[in-house]
Structures are given as C-alpha cells and as structure tokens.
Structure 1
Amino acid sequence: MAIFLVGLTRTGPLWDSSRPMEEQADWSAHASYMDGLVDAGFVILGGPLADEIRVVLAVEAGSADEVRATLGRDPWSGTHLVVDTIEPWTIRLDAREARR
C-alpha cells in the first residue's frame, strides 16, 4: 500500500482572476519548476480543480514539512499560490497494481 501526501493550494494575492493560468506573471518559471518536480518523481499528479482557485497535488515525500519546503521554492509560492493543507493519503485502490 503506497502512502502519498496530498497538498491543496489556492490562488494567492497576485493572482489575476481575469487572466488564464498560462497568462499569469512568471508562468514560465512556475511551469518549469513544477515540470522539474514531476521529472524528479516528487509530484505524481497535479492540477487545478474546476473552480480554478484551488490546485491539488499528489506528492511522494517524507513529510508535510518537506512538501511545504519544496513548494516554498516555487516562483509562485506566496504570490500566485498559497498552501492550504497537506494531508497523508493512503492509496487502497490502484488499477496499476491490479494489472500486475
């Protein structure tokens, strides 16, 4: 049974709700940073919820503090995105495991 952490972030004070995500200031720097976290295997799944105010990230990390520290290095940290919660998530259903 795999254990992951799920982070819920929300838009921060510099988020311009009149513009799509890809048109926000420093988008390229944020996207590059997040792509690096995916490449490193830190972020497993991620993306905005339908309200486009909240973003969910499933990460593989040792602790909530590690997640906060890693997300704190994102160029959007504190400006465009603010961490709301980080919770442990125990995976009990996994289609990938059933196929093995």
Structure 2
Amino acid sequence: MTRQGWRRGTLRPSPNRERRVIRLLCTACLVAPLWASAQSTAPSPPTPPAAAPGLPSLPEGLQPFAVEFRTGPAWQADKPPQEQAHFRAHSANLKRLRDAGLLVLGARLDERGFVVIAAVDEAAARAEVDADPSVQAGVFRYQIAPLQVFYGGSLPAARRR
C-alpha cells in the first residue's frame, strides 16, 4: 500500500503495536493512583538515632570537633613524651576539658594524639586548644575540623537541617 492509503486510514496498525499501547495504558492505570498518593503525603524526615543507652551524648547546643595533635618545632626528639616541656600542663589541660564536659574522647593514632572536643563553634574549639601550654610553647601543633558523625554509636548522629 502507498503512503497515501495510510494517511486516509486504510491501513491498520500492527497487532504488536496494539498490544504495546494496551500494556502501556494498563500500566499507567495501575501506577497513576500509587504515584498520586505518594505525592499527596509528604514523608517526614528521618530522625537520627540517639546515642546507645547508657553512653554519653553531647551537651545541648554543642557540636563535636576533631583535634589531631602532632609534634611541634619545640619537640625534643631525644626525650620521651612524658619528659617533654609542658607535657604535664598538656595533661592538665585535657583533664580540665574532661572535667568541664568538653572532652568527648582522647586517643593515640600512631605517633599522633587525637581528641574530640565539644564546642559551640570552631572558634570556641580553637580557643580551648590554644589555651594548652604545650601548644603555646610549640611542643605540639594541631589541626582541627568539625566532626560529622554519620553513624551513631557512642555519639549521636548529626541532625540534618
């Protein structure tokens, strides 16, 4: 048949095409109500899990900051850590932070020290670390960054905004 006959409606679509159209319409009829109901009810945002029962959590209004301590320019390589200048003052500063409820945890990572402190913001966290006499004397240097807890364990997961 010619193209002209098709335009006049003298040709019929193939049976396979009719089946595909019918399947498409049936699928649309089944999916449309589900899609509409999903659109009408807005899902509530997931709530982060709380800290495990019996484990400490951060005080209200404070966020965690990771602090990594490394040896500074005043570190004496021929002396062990406990004989370094200001080492006792460093330990006293960590105890002060713990007693104030700001020291979340402390650990060793190879030859580095690692602590998590709670503070209102990064400036406040830096002020606490800068108060350490061993940092002031250059025995230790540090890096600090906000700690984004993505999987709650001992600490609760960060709340999404």
TM-score by length of 1: 0.79
Provide the rounded CA distance (Å) in 2 between the counterparts of 1:20 and 1:91: 36
In structure 2, the residue matched to 1:23 is 83
What is the CA deviation profile of residues 50-86 of structure 1, one whole-angstrom value per residue up to 9, with x for unaligned ones? Answer: 1x1x221111111111111111010011411112232
Q: Is the 8 A contact 2:70 2:140 kept in 1?
A: yes
CA change 1:13–1:95 in 2 (3 A) is closer
- Could you tell me which amino acid in structure 2 is paired with residue 48 of structure 1? R
Q: Does 1:7 align with 2:73?
A: no
Which of residues 61, 72, 86 is equivalent to 2:145?
86
Find the residue that maps to 2:135 and give its secondary structure. Answer: coil
**1:60–1:91 distance in 2 versus 1, CA, 3 Å:** farther
Determine which structure has the larger strand proportion and give its number. 1
Letter in 2 for 1:74: D
CA offsets 1:7-66 (integer angstroms, 9 cap, x no match): 12211111122222111112222211111111111111113311x1x2211111111111
SS of the equivalent of 2:147 reads strand
Question: Considering only CA atoms, is the larger Rg found in Structure 1 or Structure 2?
Answer: 2
CA distance in 2, matches of 1:95, 1:71: 23
Q: Secondary structure at the match of 2:133?
A: coil
User: What is residue 104 of structure 2 aligned with on the other side?
Assistant: 44
TM-score by length of 2: 0.52
Count residues with an aligned counterpart: 95
Structure with the bigger percentage of helix: 2
Check 1:82–1:94 CA distance in 2 against 1; reply closer, same or farther (3 A cut): same
Compared with structure 1, are the counterparts of its residues 15 and 47 closer, same or farther at alpha carbon in structure 2 (3 Å cutoff)? farther
CA 1:66/1:26 → structure 2, altered by over 3 Å: closer, same or farther? same
Q: Secondary structure at the match of 1:58?
A: strand
Structure 2 residue runs without a partner (length 5+): 1-47, 49-57, 157-161
Give the Cα separation in 1 of the matches to 2:108 and 2:80.
12
Q: How does 1:58-77 map to 2 (within 5 A)?
A: 58-77=116-135
Contact 1:46 1:58 (8 Å CA) reproduced: yes
